[in-house]
Amino acid sequence: MESIIKDSPTKTRRKFDKSFKCEVVRNWLSSGKSAAVIAKEFGLNESLLFAWRKLLPPRRSWGEGGGGGQEACG
């Protein structure tokens, strides 16, 4: 019995730093656009946005009016 080996190249897993994740999530939440639209703009999978949003503190601590912006995402 022969094993079947695909000759397709392996994909390298991309890594994103916390500042990039924060920028994308803030862009998404402040723009009023859907997660699908933002994900497509940044070349990401939509599910990543939802996962990254969970990593960030609650919105009131980094929202536009609160003054806690850079500390939460920096």
For the residues of 24-58, what is the DSSP string, one character each? HHHHHHHH---HHHHHHHHT--HHHHHHHHHHSPP
Number of domains in the chain: 1
Q: Let me know if residue 8 belongs to a domain.
A: no
Q: How confident is the model over 15-64, as pLDDT tens digits? A: 999 999 999 999 999 999 999 999 999 999 999 999 999 887 776 544 55
How many other CB atoms are found less than 10 A from the CB of residue 19? 11
Q: Let me know if residue 5 belongs to a domain.
A: no
Model pTM greater than 0.85? no
Q: Let me know if residue 71 belongs to a domain.
A: no
Helices (H) and strands (E) in the chain, counts: 5, 0
